[in-house]
Amino acid sequence: MKILVLCTGNSARSILLEALLNQYGVGRIDAWSAGSQPVGMVHPEALALLARKQFPTAGLHSKSWDLFAEPDAPVMDAVITVCGNAAGEICPIWPGAPVRAHWGVDDPAAKSEQDWPRAFAKTYEILASRTRSLLKEPIESMSGDSLVALLSRIGETE
């Protein structure tokens, strides 16, 4: 299954979920992340957290969602937004018409710098829990409607 994770800046939440889906879903999921207005760098606290948890961070970078609307882009099965702004924005037409879902999480980067470690850890835990819930299901064989329902239900959990 191919999943694109979207946020506005593509520097924190979407990067964390991309890493989680690729790490926990190895052999089942290929994930990418992008932003409508990418900031051009991954938030240092996101990279530090992933490094502490021994996730590979090479290749993680902030990029535009326009890359995934190109004719030669991977055809996605699902697009998951993780911030309210990206959920409400008009997205490009994705090749393959993937299912869409929203897994909103508060922006840990919006907290004060002293609160970043705690805020990023909370965001990570929420997204890790949602990733584990997703991987408990036979997502590869689900119909589009069933996958939408599952993704939506998971997105409402903390």
Q: Model confidence over 130-154: pLDDT tens digits?
A: 999 999 999 999 999 999 999 999 9
Could you give the number of structural domains in the chain? 1
Centroid of chain to Cα 16: 7
What number of H helices and E strands is found in the chain?
A: 5, 4
- pLDDT bracket for residue 158 (50, 70, 90): confident
Q: What are phi and psi of 79, to 5 degrees?
A: -125, 125
Helix 116-135, helix 44-52: angle, nearest 10: 60
Q: What are phi and psi of 56, to 5 degrees?
A: -70, 135
Range of the domain at 146: 2-155
Sole residue written with tokens 């929203």:
102
What's the confidence (pLDDT) of residue 89? Answer: 57
- pLDDT tops 70 at residue 18: yes
What's the confidence (pLDDT) of residue 91? Answer: 63
pTM of this prediction?
0.94
- The predicted-structure confidence for 21-54, as pLDDT tens digits, reads as follows 999 999 999 999 999 899 999 999 999 999 999 9
Domain of residue 85, CATH code: 3.40.50.2300
